[in-house]
Amino acid sequence: MNENVIDRSRDITILEVLDRVLNKGVILTGDIVISVADVDLIYLGVKLMLSSVETMEKLKSGKH
């Protein structure tokens, strides 16, 4: 086992967590609203939204 394998396992686990939390479980249909910088964004796909939120936060804090 090398570090790459360990890193890959860790990445897989995080992806597994996100996939479950964002896409599975009891689904309450209707609007899920995630807000960034006081702008309400209607939920379309939380996975996409999450990456947008992170990108926007980076942009806000000047970390590119």
Partner 1 sequence: MEKLIYSIIKGTENPAQLISVLNGLRGISGAKLEVVSCERIAAVVCSVQKNAVVTDRSGTLEYAGLVDNLSKEFTLLPVRFGSVMESNDEIRKMLQKNYKEIEKNLLKVEGRVEFGLKVFCDPEKLQARFNAKGEAEIKTVDNTVKGQNNSVFKDYVNKKLIEYRIEESLLSYVNSVIQEITECCAGLEAISKYKKMPSPTNIIDALFLIDKEMTDQLIRLVKDLQTRYPDLNFILTGPWPPYNFVDITIS
Measure Cα distances from 9 to 21, 23, 24, 27, 38 in Å.
Answer: 18, 21, 21, 28, 36
Q: Which amino acid is at 26?
A: V
As measured in angstroms, the least distance from the Cβ of 3 to partner 1 is 16
Q: Shortest approach of partner 1 to residue 20 CB, angstroms?
A: 4
Minimum distance, C-beta of residue 22 to partner 1, in the bound complex (Å): 6
Beta carbons of 32 and 46 less than 8 angstroms apart: yes
Give the footprint of partner 1 on this chain (CB under 8 A).
9, 12-14, 16-18, 20-30, 32-36, 40, 43, 46, 50, 53-54, 57
